[in-house]
Amino acid sequence: MIITSFAIVIIMSLWALLRYVFQTDMYGMEEVVVMIAFWLYFMANSYAVYDKSHVKADILPSMLNKRHQRLIKPFLYALMLIACIIYSIWSFDTVYFSYVEKPTTMALGIPFWLGHLSILVGFVLSAFYAGIYFIQSLAEAVQTLKGKDYSSDSENEDAFVL
The C-alpha atoms of residue 158 and residue 152 are separated, in whole angstroms, by 9
Give the tens place of pLDDT for each residue, 96-149. 999 999 999 999 999 999 999 999 999 999 999 999 999 999 999 999 888 866
User: Residue 35, Cα to own-chain centre: how many angstroms?
Assistant: 16
Q: Within a domain: residue 157?
A: no
Q: Domain of 94? A: 2-145
Q: Within a domain: residue 125?
A: yes
127: buried, middle or exposed (CB in 10 Å: 19+, 13-18, 0-12)? buried
Q: Within a domain: residue 158?
A: no
Q: Helix, strand or coil for residue 92?
A: helix
Q: Within a domain: residue 150?
A: no
Q: Are 92 and 12 in contact (CB under 8 A)?
A: no
| Cα angle: 132, vertex 138, 139; to 5 degrees | 95
pTM confidence score? 0.80
Q: Within a domain: residue 60?
A: yes
Q: Are 124 and 88 in contact (CB under 8 A)?
A: yes
For 26-54, give one letter per residue: b (16+ CB within 10 A) or e: eeebebbbebbbbbbebbebbbebbeeeb
Give the tens place of pLDDT for each residue, 6-35. 888 998 898 889 888 888 888 888 999 999
Q: How many domains does the chain have?
A: 1
DSSP 103-135: -B-TTT--BHHHHHHHHHHHHHHHHHHHHHHHH
Give the tens place of pLDDT for each residue, 29-65. 899 999 999 999 999 999 999 998 877 777 777 777 8
Q: Within a domain: residue 160?
A: no
Q: Within a domain: residue 161?
A: no
Q: Within a domain: residue 101?
A: yes
Rg of the chain over Cα atoms, rounded to whole angstroms, equals 21
